[in-house]
Amino acid sequence: MKYDIIIVGCGFAGSTLARKFANANKKVLIYEKRNHIGGNMYEEILENGVRVHKYGPHIFHTNNKIVFDFLKKYSDWYFYEHKVLGKINDNLVPIPFNFKSIELLYNQEKAEKIKKKLQEKYPNVKKVSILDLINDSDPTIKKLGEFVYKNVFENYTAKQWNIPISEIDKSVINRVPVILGYDDRYFQDKYQYMPKDGYTKVFENLLNHKNITLELEHNALEDIKIKDNKIYLDNKEYKGIVIYTGEIDELFEYKYGALPYRSLNLVFENYDMNYYQSRAVINYPNEELFTRITEFKYLTNQIIDKKTTILKEYPKTYDYKDKNNLPYYAIINEENLKKYNQYKDLVSKIPNLYLCGRLAEYKYYNMDAVIERALNLYLEIMK
Ligand SMILES: Cc1cc2nc3c(=O)[nH]c(=O)nc-3n(C[C@H](O)[C@H](O)[C@H](O)COP(=O)(O)OP(=O)(O)OC[C@H]3O[C@@H](n4cnc5c(N)ncnc54)[C@H](O)[C@@H]3O)c2cc1C
């Protein structure tokens, strides 16, 4: 057998696993159907010199030291704390909602009253969920909760997921916070960094190993077939290990139907100016059809005179038959998880097939979580 491990997909799941096995002296083959490495973290440099995240903005943040230590071997990183504004009633206010947002949206007397009530009700608390605010017995606090729900959460969620707000699980609403103070960071994680030379470079370094062979523009499912709980490669049974990071329903030819996703229409715009907006990301929860605008120079730390590029994200339905339409966010609900578990049962009957990553596991993984999962899967397989 020429390769000990075949990996399908070259995002963080596939590339992390490839490097770990290569370091352990295993021969690894990666199939990637796109014409580039890096999965959805891929960055490219446009004609105007701006480095853009081709599949939407990716900000690295984690509390997991093991994951960050692993990544530090493959790039230098610079400290970057992400800050977001949201357009509410024609004002740009910090998101998550904080004391500054209250000051910008209410007159001074009202703002002081709301802040005082919050401080009295939640002394020494850093953030509180809008669900708690909505259920509060104090009418001022309750009204604030309802205001944030309506102006920050409701329309944004409806746009993003295209489902009535009544169908959104309470646990999702419960995760929307109001910050009790002036902390305007979008994430509170311990490690918040961006790769000095971009994500694509991280992937180049990860994959730069003599034991790794990479085949780009190669859909693995043209060669790999599953029959009678066995894996066939070019019509011959393959007894090595296959790690699959692509869409699980596609692997089984949609036997139980397609798993639903939300997709995005990503519209890049170039401008001859230094900066288009005042932050890396501005959210548009209400009137506009797009959900947010990202300006990449803030993320990449590039200094380019009078040139900038922004990205508008328009949510849309995913259709697996349309090859230009990509699966971005798994729509996780009871019905879809039931379907996913049917596919997973098929995988459990094939001892040399493993699933890893957001598409194979039909899950929302942040980058740190998918790397953690890949590092754990490596240990599991090596055992
Ligand atoms: C819009 C958006 C913004 C995000 N922003 C952040 C963020 O700010 N911070 C954060 O931590 N996370 C963010 N994420 C999550 C992040 O994108 C995921 O954690 C990451 O993509 C997971 O990596 P992966 O390897 O599982 O999947 P992917 O990156 O999707 O890689 C899978 C790869 O498999 C390939 N493939 C699939 N099928 C086949 C096949 N049959 N043959 C060959 N190749 C195949 C695909 O082409 C793809 O390259 C964001 C996600 C989205 C959608």
The per-residue pLDDT for 174 is 77
Looking at the structure, do residues 69 and 91 belong to the same domain, yes or no? no
Please give the single-letter amino acid code of residue 102.
Answer: I
The per-residue pLDDT for 175 is 78
Looking at the structure, do residues 16 and 146 belong to the same domain, yes or no? no
Length of the chain: 383
Ligand 1 centroid to residue 169 C-alpha, Å: 24
Strand-pair partners of 281: 84, 294
Angle of helix 12-23 versus helix 367-382 axis, rounded to 10: 40
The mean pLDDT value for 152-170 works out to 83
Query: Of 121, 154, 179, at which residue does a domain stop?
Result: 179
Please give the single-letter amino acid code of residue 272.
Answer: D
* Ligand 1 in reach of 370 Cβ (< 6 A): yes
Query: Of 179, 205, 225, at which residue does a domain stop?
Result: 179
Tokens matching residue 307: 């040139």
Q: Whose CA is nearest to atom 21 of ligand 1?
A: 40
* Ligand 1 in reach of 32 Cβ (< 6 A): yes
Q: Model confidence at 284, in pLDDT bands (50, 70, 90)?
A: very high
Query: Of 179, 204, 235, at which residue does a domain stop?
Result: 179
Looking at the structure, do residues 229 and 346 belong to the same domain, yes or no? yes
Question: Is residue 96 reached through a cis peptide bond, with omega within 30 degrees of 0 on the bond before it?
Answer: yes
Q: Closest ligand 1 atom, CA of 369?
A: 19
64 touches 368 (CB < 8 A): yes
In a domain, 306, yes or no: no
In a domain, 286, yes or no: no
The per-residue pLDDT for 197 is 96
Looking at the structure, do residues 13 and 61 belong to the same domain, yes or no? yes
Q: Please state, in angstroms and rounded to a whole number, the distance separating the CA atoms of residues 250 and 359.
A: 10
Residue 171, pLDDT > 80, answer: no
Looking at the structure, do residues 150 and 203 belong to the same domain, yes or no? no
Looking at the structure, do residues 88 and 159 belong to the same domain, yes or no? yes
Ligand 1 centroid to residue 168 C-alpha, Å: 24
Burial of 178 (0-12, 13-18, 19+ CB in 10 A): buried
302 touches 51 (CB < 8 A): yes
The mean pLDDT value for 67-86 works out to 98
Residue 166, pLDDT > 80, answer: no
The share of the chain scoring above pLDDT 70, in percent, equals 100
Looking at the structure, do residues 221 and 357 belong to the same domain, yes or no? yes
The mean pLDDT value for 291-302 works out to 97
- Picking from 88, 274, 79, 306, the residue whose alpha carbon sits closest to that of residue 187 is 79
Q: Compute CA 132 distance to the chain's CA centroid, rounded to the nearest angstrom.
A: 27
The mean pLDDT value for 19-27 works out to 98
Q: Model confidence at 272, in pLDDT bands (50, 70, 90)?
A: very high
In a domain, 291, yes or no: no
10 touches 203 (CB < 8 A): yes
Measured CA distances, 157 to 26, 59, 316, 359 (Å) = 45, 21, 13, 22
The mean pLDDT value for 149-161 works out to 90
* Ligand 1 in reach of 34 Cβ (< 6 A): yes
Looking at the structure, do residues 223 and 140 belong to the same domain, yes or no? no
Q: Whose CA is nearest to atom 46 of ligand 1?
A: 9
In a domain, 52, yes or no: yes
Ligand 1 centroid to residue 31 C-alpha, Å: 15
> Residue 235, by phi and psi: left (phi above 0), alpha (psi -120 to 50) or beta?
left
The per-residue pLDDT for 173 is 78
Measured CA distances, 17 to 7, 20, 99, 101 (Å) = 8, 5, 43, 43
Looking at the structure, do residues 234 and 343 belong to the same domain, yes or no? yes
Ligand 1 centroid to residue 261 C-alpha, Å: 13
* Ligand 1 in reach of 14 Cβ (< 6 A): yes
In a domain, 224, yes or no: yes
Q: Round the average pLDDT of the chain to a whole number and report it.
A: 96
CATH assignment at residue 216: 3.40.50.720
In a domain, 122, yes or no: yes
Looking at the structure, do residues 131 and 249 belong to the same domain, yes or no? no
Q: Compute CA 123 distance to the chain's CA centroid, rounded to the nearest angstrom.
A: 33
The number of domains in the chain is 2
Burial of 271 (0-12, 13-18, 19+ CB in 10 A): middle
Looking at the structure, do residues 148 and 96 belong to the same domain, yes or no? yes
In a domain, 283, yes or no: no
Ligand 1 centroid to residue 178 C-alpha, Å: 29
In a domain, 108, yes or no: yes
Looking at the structure, do residues 255 and 345 belong to the same domain, yes or no? yes
Domain extent for 144 = 84-179
